[in-house]
Amino acid sequence: MDKLKKALSGDDVDEEQGIMHQVIDASSLSWSTRIKGFIICFILGFGFSILGSALLALPKGLILFGIFYSLGNITALASTMFLMGPWNQCQKMFAPTRILATIAMLGFLILTLLAAFLWKKTGLTIVFCIFQFLSMTWYSLSYIPYARDAVIKFFQSCVS
C-alpha cells in the first residue's frame, strides 16, 4: 500500500529536496484526505453526468446535457488531482505520450461549452459531447499499459 501511495503522490522518485519541495510537502494533504477528496469529486462528477442525462427530457435538455456532462468530466479530472497532486497530474497530462489526447480532450470540452453557452447550437453541442467522450476515453486509456495498442489492434482486426 505504501508503494501505491508513493507512486500516486509522485514521491517514488528520489531527488534532492529543495526548499520548494519541502514547502509543497509541508502543505500537502494527508493520504486519507486525498482519498476522501477523490471519492467526493468522483461521485460529484458521476452525479453531474447522470443529472445531464436526466435533463435530456427538457426543452433545452440537449444543451443542459452538454453542460453537465462537461462539468462531470472536469470534476472527474479534479478527482484524480487529489491522488497525484495538481502539479504531478499536469506533468502527466502533458507528457509526450498523452499530450495530443490531453489537447483533444480539453479542446472538445471547451468547444462543448462554447456550443452550449455562446452559439446555442444543440446539434453541435451533442457532436462535441461525443468527441469529448471519445477523447476522454483515449486519454484515460493512456494510463493503462498497452491499452491503446490493444484498442488499435481491435479496430484494425474489425476493418480487415
Predicted local confidence at residue 134, as pLDDT:
94
Predicted local confidence at residue 85, as pLDDT:
86
Distance (Å, whole) CA 71 – CA 65: 10
Predicted local confidence at residue 59, as pLDDT:
83
Element (H, E) at 84: helix 61-84
Predicted local confidence at residue 60, as pLDDT:
76
- Longest distance between any two alpha carbons in the chain, whole Å: 58
Which portions of the chain are predicted below pLDDT 70? Answer: 1-27
Computed from CA positions of residues 149, 153, 154, 155, in that sequence, does the dihedral angle turn out positive or negative?
A: positive
- Cell 462537461, residue located: 70
Predicted local confidence at residue 1, as pLDDT:
59
Predicted local confidence at residue 154, as pLDDT:
94
Predicted local confidence at residue 7, as pLDDT:
54
Q: Residue 153 burial (CB < 10 Å; 0-12/13-18/19+)? A: exposed
- Cell 455562446, residue located: 118
Is residue 115 within 8 A of residue 125, CB to CB? The reply is yes
